[in-house]
Amino acid sequence: MKNPISLTARISLQFAATAACVLFAAGLVFERVGENQLQEHYRMELDGKMELVRNALESIPSSTPTSMMRVRLREAIVISHPGIAIAVAASDGTVLFSVGQSEVVKHLIEGAEIGKPTPVIWALDHRTYRIRARHLALGIPASQPANVAIALDITEETELMAEFMRLLWFSMALAALALGWLGWVAVRKGLAPLHDMSTTVANVSAQQLDKPLPAAGVPHELQELVSAFNRMLAQLHDSFRRLSEFSSDIAHELRTPINNMMMQTQVILSRERDTVDYRANLQSNLEELERMSRMVSDMLFLAKADNSLVAPNREEIDLREEVVKLFDFYEALASARHIHLAQSGAATVCADRMMIQRALSNVLSNAIRFTPEGMRIEVTIGENADRAMIAIDNPGPEIPAEHLPRIFERLYRVDAARREGDTENTGLGLAITKSIVEMHGGTIYAESAKGRTRFTITLPQRETV
């Protein structure tokens, strides 16, 4: 995979690009405004001079002979500006008046585009001129208007402006680079807590899952990340703890029946016995082996369910029918202890029949085990907003509140003392029930109070997972 560009580089580059764009736009505005100001200044200067010439031309009395006109105009047009050249020519081409550098005047007379609305720029002998040309009426009635052309030397100003712009662009480029660098420094500093955090996270090992990341001093943008990470750590820690407890429990669970079998077999083998004793020993070993085999297949089922290797084979199931079947199955066991099994309500679900039977059977067998003799177990079925609900309620010893959340864990039994020596129950029943229910998109929870324990299972009526 391509190495993605770092966050620091990404933000700094974006910042530098934005700064460069802003500076470039500011430079353009400067250039345009400066240029406009300068052009306005030239325009006013040329207009002023043109006005002067117009006044002079208009003030020539009609009696003045052409030869005297030059003298009159020279008297009227006083030019103080050294960079200005003016040429006034009569309509027949006779030069009436000229002032300024002879070369420029010559060009003015020959080339000025008289009457052109916008001033023209001329380059002559490495110098730049701004030109204004007009037809101006003489004060003499019925005379042809004179051609007037004025050149303003703008070389210094143009060079100054070009120099200024060069300097401006150079400083803008420097400023963009400096801003880019400053941006990089700022981003690095700003992202330092993220860097610190990743170093801390990198050091988290399986032994430190119970140590949350310190939230103090973390900028508030990262607070959410830290708390999410800490939540994940807590969950990991919990799963890790359960996993290690589970493996030690498995070892323990298997050791007890194996020890039992070993001891009994050693005792039997310690001397010569008759066939009845051997038979009894084999029978007892068989029971232990059956229990171990059940436990191993239960654990295999849970492991497969964990890895999504068991898929429910869904079909339409009438829960009431399934409960009736279960009652038939447990009838003998219940009636031996004079326990009455009652059911009410009905609902259908789309689920795996075998799995649902197994799930309900685990809960019902627990209920029968804990119900005192002669009492009654109630199974209530109902449905509510696309979900079927089945509650199994039995009288009997309460499950203490601190154990309630844990009874669905693997190998967990409330009475820890019964873990040893109890060959009947492994503590996997509710874990399997929960796994099956969740596989179907359902929920299961237990309540235990006032001498009654109730397990409630909800299942979606249509396939959701």
Q: Is 257 in the site for Mg ion (CB under 5 A)?
A: no
Q: How far is the CB of 334 from Mg ion (least distance, A)?
A: 15
> Which residue's CB is nearer to ligand ATP, number 148 or number 428?
428
Q: Give backbone dihedrals phi and psi of 109, rounded to 5 degrees, phi first.
A: -65, -40
Q: Which stretch binds Mg ion (CB under 5 A): 69-77, 85-93, 306-314, 426-434?
A: 426-434
Report the nearest approach of ligand ATP to the CB of residue 253 (Å). 10
Of 366 and 453, CB closest to Mg ion: 366
Instruction: Rank residues 60 and 431 by Cβ distance to ligand ATP and give the closer one.
Output: 431
**Backbone phi and psi for residue 455, each to the nearest 5 degrees, phi listed first:** -105, 125
- What is the distance between the alpha carbons of residues 228 and 234, in angstroms, rounded to a whole number? 10
Query: Which CB sits closer to Mg ion, 8 or 366?
Result: 366
Which of 96, 55, 86 is closest to 151 using CA atoms? Answer: 86
- The nearest distance, CB 217 to ligand ATP, in angstroms, is 45
Among the listed residues 16, 13, 10, the one whose alpha carbon sits nearest the alpha carbon of residue 179: 16
Min CB(454)–ligand ATP separation in Å: 8
Q: Judged by CB, which is closer to ligand ATP: 237, or 419?
A: 419
Report the Cα 303 to chain-centroid distance in Å. Answer: 34
HSE, CB side, 13 Å, CA atoms: give it for residue 178: 7
Q: Which of residues 38-97 bind Mg ion (CB under 5 A)?
A: none
Cβ-closest residue to Mg ion?
A: 429
Q: Which is nearer to Mg ion, 130 or 410 (CB)?
A: 410
- Cα 262 to chain centroid, rounded: 60
Question: Taking CB within 5 to 8 Å according to partner kind, which of Mg ion, ligand ATP, none is near residue 453?
Answer: ligand ATP
Q: Whole-number minimum distance, CB 393 to Mg ion, in Å? A: 16
Q: Is 397 left (phi over 0), alpha (psi -120 to 50) or beta?
A: beta
Q: Which is nearer to Mg ion, 433 or 458 (CB)?
A: 433
Nearest distance from C-beta of residue 453 to Mg ion, angstroms: 12
Query: Which residues 6+ apart lie within 8 Å of 232 measured at CB?
Result: none
Instruction: State the number of binding residues for Mg ion (CB under 5 A).
Output: 2
Residue 396 in the binding site for Mg ion (CB under 5 A): no
Minimal distance, residue 387 CB to Mg ion, in Å: 24
State the nearest-atom distance from the C-beta of 429 to ligand ATP, in Å: 2
Q: Binding residues for ligand ATP, per CB under 6 A?
A: 362, 366-367, 370, 394, 396-397, 399, 407, 412-415, 425-431, 453
CA dihedral of residues 264, 269, 271, 275 (deg, nearest 10): 90
Q: What is the three-class DSSP state of 382?
A: strand
Please identify which residue in the block is written with the tokens 């032994």: 207
3-state class of 370 per DSSP?
A: helix
* Nearer Cβ to ligand ATP (256/281): 256
**Binding partner selected for residue 428 from Mg ion, ligand ATP, none, CB under the kind-specific 5 to 8 Å limit:** ligand ATP
List 12, 366, 394, 426, residue binding Mg ion (CB under 5 A): 366
Does residue 394 bind Mg ion (CB under 5 A)? no
Residue 453 binds Mg ion (CB under 5 A)? no
Residues 180, 15: contact at Cβ < 8 Å? yes
User: What contacts 24+ positions apart, CB below 8 Å, involve 90-94?
Assistant: 90/66, 90/144, 90/146, 90/147, 91/144, 91/145, 91/146, 91/147, 92/144, 94/66
Chain positions contacting Mg ion, by CB under 5 A: 366, 429
